[in-house]
Structure 1
Amino acid sequence: MKIALIKKPSLLRDLLLNELKNLFSNYEFKAYSSKEFNRLFQEQEHLDFLIIDLDTDIDFYSLIDSYKKSNKKIAVWASTLDNTDLFDLFKLDLNGYFFNGMEKEELAFAIQSIVKGKRYVHHELTRILMNDYARVHHHSKERPVGVFSKREWDVLELLTKGYKNQDIAEFLFITEKTVKQYVSSILRKLEVEDRTNAVITALKNKWFVL
């Protein structure tokens, strides 16, 4: 697996690259600046996974379009929550959406998930992206029958509103342990790895309106 990171040259980038190499000794990592844009394009057939820092001076939309056509895995990395490109990038349904401050364990989980064909969205970006998505797709659909119990629907709706397990427990007058059981059941039925992707699935299917 060959993975490329587009990020401005800095000590932080060097440390990050070394960290990634230590975490994934069986993967090949490369780092590029925006000035190496043409070279990166020339090497795209030899790359499997591209991570783009949104703070780099690069036409990432053209780059994303080219790599998507080549069926490459793509993730973008945001440093702030007010980046105006986030919602448009979210609509492109990329493989990953990273955010500054990720611990190495979370970064490892994100990359492993994407390599395995799953989608990763950092929890800091979820509410912003979901709120924008819901505003555009504001008409709810009839919920499918026989998928969830009434209580599971209640829990899923609160998840879409950003409630934590403790908040859900207090709102529904149940224990936090019971909430965890409902969440596990929801993830299993939706065949998703985490609550972020459960929320994405629910809103994409227009089961709820925020």
Structure 2
Amino acid sequence: MPMFAAPTAPSRTNLLLVDDHQMVIEGIKTLLKTDASVRVVAQANSGAEALRRLRQHPEIQVALVDLNMPEMSGVELTQHLRTEFPTVRVLALSMFHDHASVMEVLEAGGAGYLLKNTTKAELSAAIANVAAGRTHFSQEVGQTLLQHLDVPAQRPGAAPVVELTAREKEILRLVAEEKSNQDIATALFISERTVETHRKNILTKTSCKSVVGLIQYAIKHKLLA
């Protein structure tokens, strides 16, 4: 009699919710209740509690973090996570999208930035993106970053900005738009291996360690303009 393997359940992203307002947490849990790709593993109402939950649940992959919390802000918590839990990806959640706040999150090591008026569809997409190693910014946040591309790219005496080839600039722009290697390969009619080679070359040239760092560098030096 033939034996058939049972179908495997789709992989799910293990999520930590961090917000000092329990009502917000309950609202997010309700939004994600029907999303089979996400599992809320733990929740916390403060930064200190979030760190305890992460120690208790090493399987957590993504932390959805409110920025405006007392005692330990979301940015401070993100900095702690980068040191103690470097594999956990942080998705910031805020009512505000001013340039200073967004850059604080990026500099602290955050992988994405959502506004609290986000839809269920965007929330799910953002979690999936950061879990896959990509970045995700709400449309308003992206616009805020683009509006500040006209800042001076270089101070007197600063190290010269690296020169990227036309192809590297194309790829950099698509990376900043959160495109995967496959998406970029399709858009530019090249192989995924070629895309990966270009990405590595860009990271090496700019001395950046991650995609988030690369986006910061590109914004600072107007490479996306």
**Structure 1 segment 17-28 matched on structure 2, within 5 A:** 17-24=29-36, 27-28=39-40
Distance 1:184 1:209 in 2: 17
Distance 1:73 1:143 in 2: 28
Cα deviation, residue 104, structure 1? 1.0
Q: Are the counterparts in 1 of residues 67 and 73 from structure 2 also a CA contact under 8 Å?
A: no
Residue 136 (structure 2) aligned to one of 115, 120, 132: 120
Who is 2:188 aligned against?
Answer: 185
Amino acid at match of 1:15: G
The verdict on how the C-alpha distance between 1:140 and 1:51 changes in structure 2, with shifts beyond 3 A counting, is same
Residue 31 (structure 1) aligned to one of 28, 36, 43: 43
Percent identity over the alignment is: 14
Range 8-17 or range 42-51, more displaced: 8-17
Q: Are the counterparts in 1 of residues 114 and 137 from structure 2 also a CA contact under 8 Å?
A: yes
Residue 15 (structure 1) aligned to one of 19, 24, 27: 27
The verdict on how the C-alpha distance between 1:133 and 1:5 changes in structure 2, with shifts beyond 3 A counting, is farther
Distance 1:30 1:131 in 2: 36
Cα deviation, residue 98, structure 1? 1.1
Distance 1:136 1:52 in 2: 31
Cα deviation, residue 82, structure 1? 3.1
Who is 2:122 aligned against?
Answer: 106
Residues 1:51 and 2:64 aligned together: yes
Residue 92 (structure 2) aligned to one of 61, 68, 76: 76
Residues 1:95 and 2:116 aligned together: no
Offset from partner CA, 1:86-135 (integer Å, 9 cap, x none): 22222234211111221111111111111111111222111323444662
The verdict on how the C-alpha distance between 1:79 and 1:126 changes in structure 2, with shifts beyond 3 A counting, is same
The verdict on how the C-alpha distance between 1:203 and 1:3 changes in structure 2, with shifts beyond 3 A counting, is same
Amino acid at match of 1:61: V
* Structure-2-length-normalised TM-score: 0.60
Task: Work out the number of aligned pairs and report it.
Answer: 177
Q: Are the counterparts in 2 of residues 148 and 186 from structure 1 also a CA contact under 8 Å?
A: no
Range 89-98 or range 24-33, more displaced: 24-33
Distance 1:54 1:201 in 2: 19
The verdict on how the C-alpha distance between 1:38 and 1:8 changes in structure 2, with shifts beyond 3 A counting, is closer
The verdict on how the C-alpha distance between 1:209 and 1:96 changes in structure 2, with shifts beyond 3 A counting, is closer
Residues 1:203 and 2:218 aligned together: yes
Q: Are the counterparts in 2 of residues 99 and 122 from structure 1 also a CA contact under 8 Å?
A: yes
Larger fraction in helix: 1
Q: Are the counterparts in 2 of residues 52 and 76 from structure 1 also a CA contact under 8 Å?
A: yes
The verdict on how the C-alpha distance between 1:29 and 1:43 changes in structure 2, with shifts beyond 3 A counting, is closer
Who is 2:145 aligned against?
Answer: 129
Pairwise CA RMSD:
4.1
